[in-house]
Amino acid sequence: MIGGAGSLEVEPGVVLADAEDRLHATLDGVGLPREYAAAVRGHRDALNVLRVSNRRWTYFSPAEDIAPGTRTGRFRIGEDQPVRDAEGRSRVSAEDAAVALVDEAELPRFVQRRFTIGY
């Protein structure tokens, strides 16, 4: 399943979807309306449903800032916390996100887990 970055931990035990001020700042920073917070919380809830299900699943949380760009094939992989660059930004191109998804489909490494990517 492709979800969102809102279910990633911004500090131990706290996900972005539950930290309203940080969530609004993130939405503002990537140019999304604050009303999008409801969708962010929905993705968090979907991940929680998967975690208690008896289904085989993998959940992909892209970086906080995902946008069309360049396919580099060079990104870092994480699990429950955003992958941030040297400036503290969680970002990735849509093209590299697609590469990560195809890689996971071809060689599953995150069965029954979530993963994320970033630069």
Q: Is 30's pLDDT higher than 90? A: no
Q: What is the mean pLDDT of residues 2-10?
A: 94
Encoded tokens for 112: 């029954």
Distances (CA, A) of 32 to 29, 66, 71, 104: 8, 12, 23, 28
Query: pLDDT (tens digit, 9 = 90+) per residue, 10-25?
Result: 999 999 999 999 999 9
Rounded mean pLDDT, 22-46:
94
Q: Look up residue 23 and give its amino acid.
A: L
Residues 6+ apart with CB under 8 A from 95: 68, 69, 70, 71, 72
Q: Are 92 and 119 in contact (CB under 8 A)?
A: yes
Percent of the chain past pLDDT 70, that is, above it, reads 100
Identity of the amino acid at 1:
M
Q: Please work out, in degrees rounded to the nearest 5, the angle formed at the alpha carbon of residue 76 by the alpha carbons of 105 and 26.
A: 100
The residue-averaged pLDDT of 61-68 equals: 94
pLDDT (mean) for 41-65: 96
Q: Is the pLDDT of residue 114 over 90?
A: yes
For the CA atoms of 115, 59, 43, 12, what is the dihedral angle to 10 degrees? Answer: -40
Q: What is the mean pLDDT of residues 67-75?
A: 96
pLDDT at 102: 97
> Which DSSP helix (H) or strand (E) runs through 29?
helix 20-29
Residue 103 — pLDDT band, cuts 50, 70, 90?
very high
